[in-house]
């Protein structure tokens, strides 16, 4: 699907894709979403450029993601998609500057594009050219990335409360409660990892984009690129801080699980020690020797029961006094 936007921010039809025709001069942005080969051929013939294929976008070599070809500038970045779901992914998006036009090629629909399209009419008229629109689009992408990190911080804070709980309320948790929280921590780590990879690709792209002649010739666009680059650096530092918090939360959860397991083992160990003296008493009087003085003792049975009870109570209160229970 191809959507074209004019300098008045209105979307227009491109006409019959089977015919090679000159594209309207007032078109400043061509947004290609999962383009077919017919749509790629139309744009290539109309603009005189070679459109990267889906396989080309997956190339990780910098020389294949950031390059110039004639007067056209080709850039590819990885953006976070499905950030609100349990399975966030990175999607590769191509940005092409061909003259005064911007061409984007994507096989997903990151929310940043929807936000940019919704705010397109608020962009001043003198910004409505390829390089300036692309700088504004990058600004929206970084703003959206910041929003993803902010939402992640809020969810991690809630998760931290669930892990450590309210110490004043001693509510018994299910046995697998912390194990479930480990899966939530892994999901947050996966999202932050995707964000950091996206920021790394955007950082390389902005360094390349800043030196494009169309940017260098426009002071406002150049300054916006500097601002976006600073924002990327700040978000990189912030994402590192969040990753550190997630690591701490993971270590704390594993530590709490170990504490719970140790408490269970301690209970069994103390129980075995408490019942050891009564077992010894029962074993002594359970022997079948012919000559045992207590065998003819009239109160021997209650005496032995009392002795076993006392031998169990004494270790129990000793452990309580020591604070082991």
Greater confidence (171 vs 195) lies with: 195
| Sequence-ordered list of residues with C-beta below 8 angstroms from that of 79, at least 6 positions apart, any chain | 90, 91, 92, 93, 108, 110, 112, 141, 198
Going through 44-195 in order, the beta strands assigned E by DSSP cover 66-69, 72-81, 89-98, 101-106
Does residue 137 carry a pLDDT above 50?
yes
pLDDT of 162: 76
The reply to whether the predicted model has a pTM over 0.95 is no
Comparing 136 with 6, which gets the higher pLDDT? 136
Q: What angle do CA 259, 260, 266 make, to 5 degrees?
A: 85
Across-strand partners of 3?
31
Asked which of 12-21, 56-65, 111-120 is least confident by mean pLDDT, the reply is: 12-21
Of 22-26, 42-46, 263-267, least confident by mean pLDDT is 22-26
The upper half-sphere exposure of residue 238, i.e. CA atoms within 13 Å in the direction of its Cβ, equals 18
What is the tens place of the pLDDT at every residue in 45-104? Answer: 878 888 888 887 777 676 678 888 888 889 999 999 888 888 889 999 999 988 888 889
Window from 129-138, 269-278, 293-302 with minimum mean pLDDT: 293-302
pLDDT reported for residue 234: 92
pLDDT in the model for residue 325: 64
Query: What is the structure's pLDDT at 275?
Result: 80
List pLDDT tens digits, range 231-246: 999 999 998 888 888 8
pLDDT value for 168:
47
Using CA atoms, how far apart are residues 102 and 100, in angstroms rounded to an integer?
A: 7
Pick the more confident residue, 221 or 323.
221
- 311-320: long-range contacts (C-beta < 8 A, 24 or more apart)? 311/277, 311/278, 311/280, 311/281, 312/274, 312/275, 312/277, 312/278, 314/277, 315/273, 315/274, 315/277, 316/274, 319/270, 319/273, 319/274
Contacts of 322 (CB under 8 A, 6+ apart): none
């Amino acid at each position: 699907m191809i959507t074209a936007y004019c300098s008045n921010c209105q979307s227009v039809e491109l006409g019959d894709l089977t015919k090679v025709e000159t594209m309207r001069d007032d078109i400043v942005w061509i947004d290609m979403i999962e383009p077919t080969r017919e749509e790629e051929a139309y744009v290539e013939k109309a603009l005189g450029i070679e459109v990267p294929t889906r396989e080309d976008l997956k190339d990780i070599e910098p020389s294949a993601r950031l390059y110039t070809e004639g007067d056209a500038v080709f850039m590819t970045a990885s953006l976070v998609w499905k950030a609100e779901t349990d399975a966030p992914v990175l999607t590769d998006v191509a940005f092409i500057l061909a003259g005064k036009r911007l061409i984007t090629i994507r096989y997903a629909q990151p929310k940043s594009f929807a936000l940019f399209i919704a705010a397109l009419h608020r962009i001043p008229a003198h910004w409505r050219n390829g390089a300036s629109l692309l700088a504004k689009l990058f600004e929206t992408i970084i703003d959206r990335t910041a929003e993803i990190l902010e939402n992640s911080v809020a969810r991690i804070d809630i998760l931290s409360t669930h892990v450590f709980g309210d110490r004043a309320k001693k509510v018994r948790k299910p046995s697998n409660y912390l194990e479930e929280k480990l899966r939530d921590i892994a999901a947050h780590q996966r999202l932050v990892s995707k964000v950091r990879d996206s920021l790394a690709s955007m950082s390389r792209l902005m360094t390349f984009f800043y030196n494009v002649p169309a940017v260098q010739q426009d002071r406002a666009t150049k300054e916006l690129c500097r601002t976006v680059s600073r924002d990327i650096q700040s978000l990189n530092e912030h994402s590192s801080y969040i990753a550190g918090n997630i690591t701490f939360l993971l270590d704390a959860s594993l530590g709490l699980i170990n504490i719970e397991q140790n408490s269970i083992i301690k209970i069994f160990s103390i129980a075995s020690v408490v019942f050891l003296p009564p077992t010894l008493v029962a074993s002594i009087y359970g022997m079948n020797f012919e000559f045992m003085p207590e065998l003819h003792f009239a109160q021997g049975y209650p005496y032995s029961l009392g002795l076993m009870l006392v031998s169990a109570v004494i270790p129990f209160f000793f452990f309580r006094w020591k604070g082991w229970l």
